[in-house]
């Protein structure tokens, strides 16, 4: 499924007392505006899944053409985000 992350939108993790766990903040350089209706929580799910299921580096969508039509120009092995570089400040 091309936009599988959309199925996880609106869902949150909770602890044993059913308190919703606050979502992580993503680095400023990581922008998830590729594809229809994506938000930061959807991007977090996609990045976590990519880290878990593949040993390949995560670079995001590197083609500029994906902005015009994500369904056609999408690299399905990468999360739905613009290409990014992790800096030392991001790690700190």
With CA atoms as reference, report the closest residue to 80 among 55, 53, 54, 62.
62
Q: pTM to 2 decimals?
A: 0.59
What is the model's pLDDT at position 64? 74
Model confidence at 86, in pLDDT bands (50, 70, 90)? confident
Q: Running DSSP on this structure, what letter comes out for residue 78?
A: S
Intra-chain end-to-end CA distance of the chain, in Å = 35
**What digits encode the pLDDT tens for the residues 6-44?**
676 777 778 889 888 877 777 777 766 666 666 777 777
Q: Inform me whether the pLDDT recorded for 59 exceeds 80.
A: yes
Model confidence at 54, in pLDDT bands (50, 70, 90)? confident
CA atoms of 69 and 1, how far apart (whole Å): 16
């Amino acid at each position: 499924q091309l936009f599988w992350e959309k199925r996880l939108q609106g869902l949150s993790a909770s602890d044993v007392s059913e308190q919703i766990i606050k979502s992580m903040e993503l680095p400023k350089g990581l922008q998830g505006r590729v594809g229809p209706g994506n938000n930061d929580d959807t991007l977090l799910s996609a990045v976590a899944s990519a880290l878990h299921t593949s040993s390949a580096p995560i670079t995001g969508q590197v083609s500029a053409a994906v902005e015009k039509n994500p369904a056609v120009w999408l690299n399905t092995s990468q999360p739905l985000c613009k290409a990014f570089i992790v800096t030392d400040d991001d790690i700190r």
